[in-house]
Structure 1
């Protein structure tokens, strides 16, 4: 497995880069052409880009932007075009705490480097951007952090119209040359050379009811996102190796972590530790892969439920039905009827 800094990143945000460049007064196509980046919107869900190449794109875009600071515009124009149900989930969230579930999906779907975790201490809550080994460095790192925080603030404003006056933005890096743009864009206090990159806000805000709360639509959007994400393989890190092993040898699904570790040439404890480092637990990962493979197999009318149960490593059809109902909120038979 290549080191993390050599692993490709999903690039389904390509349309957002194009839009941000246009808003900043330049055409991004020459940048892509110069760097040899293929642009295929038809197969966007499979698009990837290397981290060094993405850094070059960012640096060139910052240099070409005429009227605005490109990372802020990129973050502000970010939208869940590929999974609009995430947008519905956010807009109908009953509380900010509930809305933070989106960061888990972003980490899985958009970019494993966008790893934002909620931390709580006394009367303070923080959305902390975790440090990931093998990330960008220098000004490229600053630009990516700026774009991530611009997106976080954008969606926070959408949910709570007074969020800036109750927030504090903290950054690890020194004050950049373009610091004046921070006050204009974030409209909130900003401090530098802090231990972590974080948005700090009163803890009480997390559970204050939001005006757009719509429980029925919120639950439906969550179910649709989970189902869609379950069908998408992870493409980076150890998780990708685990998913590949299960997909090529489905019999491993019912043989436990010891057999999987042997297949990957790792000690079981090493496998568990490395999965934790990627923010995964073996049981949750196993469920997600089984769910995705179940959705795929249920779309094949040639496979009956007994065969699918066996392929996925369940002891019997009843165990499979219970698990699938927990994942999808409907039985395997009900799912098939809904697809007809």
Structure 2
């Protein structure tokens, strides 16, 4: 694609220290910082500042390597996304990936958290485009997200983003995310393949084990808590069941990583609270309810502990 846009592929790769063969092997690794820089350099060299957007539109799940095969070989879209979340650390570190519930819809949220990666626009637009193609693998080529959000500032002309995503696009948000209907999760994957998944799973589990990081495990658990938060708090046995673990195995994992389930619950509530506070149409009573608080006053006390100010004052800033 770089060549199609008038780019010099050898110069782009040379400038970022990436080799041609790094893209020929589905199990090879490319440094995240170099990968992001490659697209930023390509955008500058070709003058196509939407190059990540265009690349993502045509980026098929199989091109994700083992992680993509884990998604499309799953029985349903719900299972595919769950497997992507579980094994995302094996694919790319220093990244958050997970589902957030929000007033009847779900958000697939993605963000690089590595402070060394400064220029992230091209990667964000590419990644959300590719994630949409995972949905289309199950729901058909005409599927479109309800809304798309990016953390970077709006480009001079964002109309092409709305045209390619076929959805409203917002910029300058807290994270990169696509919104979709909960019922979409029930869609079957047409290329489901239990045998292929067993092979891919073994590889990704070995990668996860070799790269095991308490932060990644905490993120995985926290994402599942956020997905299951509602009028009441999810319990430890419920989250263990979602992760496919017995209660004793889950508790052992938590202890091994130096984590406590109540602390993860608090962190999940805190993150979702800030996410919900960005929506001016969502009342504080609704936010409290969706975070499992029986009274708004309890939510207000918790929010003040998190931020040092009341929810009302936070919204006025």
Match of 2:199 among 220, 224, 236: 224
- The question of 1:210 aligning with 2:188 is answered yes
Offset, 1:45: 3.9
Distance 1:201 1:50 in 2: 27
Offset, 1:23: 3.8
Distance 1:94 1:58 in 2: 33
- SS in structure 1 at match of 2:98: strand
Offset, 1:222: 2.2
The higher radius of gyration belongs to 1
Offset, 1:211: 6.8
Distance 1:27 1:121 in 2: 43
Match of 2:59 among 56, 74, 77: 77
Residues 230-276 of structure 1: CA distance to partner in whole angstroms, max 9, x if unpaired?
34366768469xxxxxxxxxxxxxxxxxxxxxxxxxxx9795249xx
Aligned counterpart, 2:137:
158
- The question of 1:97 aligning with 2:78 is answered yes
Distance 2:64 2:106 in 1: 30
Give the aligned length: 226
Q: Is the 8 A contact 1:83 1:225 kept in 2?
A: no
Q: Is the alpha carbon distance of 1:114 and 1:73 closer, same or farther for their aligned partners in structure 2, counting shifts above 3 Å?
A: farther
Q: Is the 8 A contact 1:107 1:113 kept in 2?
A: no
Match of 2:122 among 114, 119, 143: 143
Offset, 1:71: 0.6
- SS in structure 2 at match of 1:22: coil
Q: Is the alpha carbon distance of 1:120 and 1:69 closer, same or farther for their aligned partners in structure 2, counting shifts above 3 Å?
A: same
- The question of 1:25 aligning with 2:6 is answered yes
Match of 1:272 among 252, 258, 263: 258
Aligned counterpart, 2:176:
197
Match of 1:186 among 144, 162, 165: 165
Distance 1:47 1:136 in 2: 17
Q: Is the 8 A contact 2:59 2:129 kept in 1?
A: no
- SS in structure 2 at match of 1:199: strand
Aligned counterpart, 2:93:
112
Q: Is the alpha carbon distance of 1:32 and 1:98 closer, same or farther for their aligned partners in structure 2, counting shifts above 3 Å?
A: same
Aligned counterpart, 1:321:
none
- SS in structure 2 at match of 1:204: helix
Offset, 1:228: 1.8
Q: Is the 8 A contact 1:93 1:212 kept in 2?
A: no
Distance 1:193 1:130 in 2: 13
Q: Is the 8 A contact 2:52 2:125 kept in 1?
A: yes
Offset, 1:100: 0.5
Q: Is the alpha carbon distance of 1:49 and 1:93 closer, same or farther for their aligned partners in structure 2, counting shifts above 3 Å?
A: closer
Distance 1:81 1:67 in 2: 22
Which structure 2 segments of 5+ residues have no match?
Answer: 216-253, 264-317
Aligned counterpart, 2:31:
49
Residues 282-310 of structure 1: CA distance to partner in whole angstroms, max 9, x if unpaired?
xxxxxxxxxxxxxxxxxxxxxxxxxxxxx
Distance 2:181 2:25 in 1: 42
Root-mean-square deviation over aligned CA pairs: 4.1
Distance 2:32 2:172 in 1: 29
**TM-score (ref. length: structure 2):** 0.57
- SS in structure 1 at match of 2:3: helix
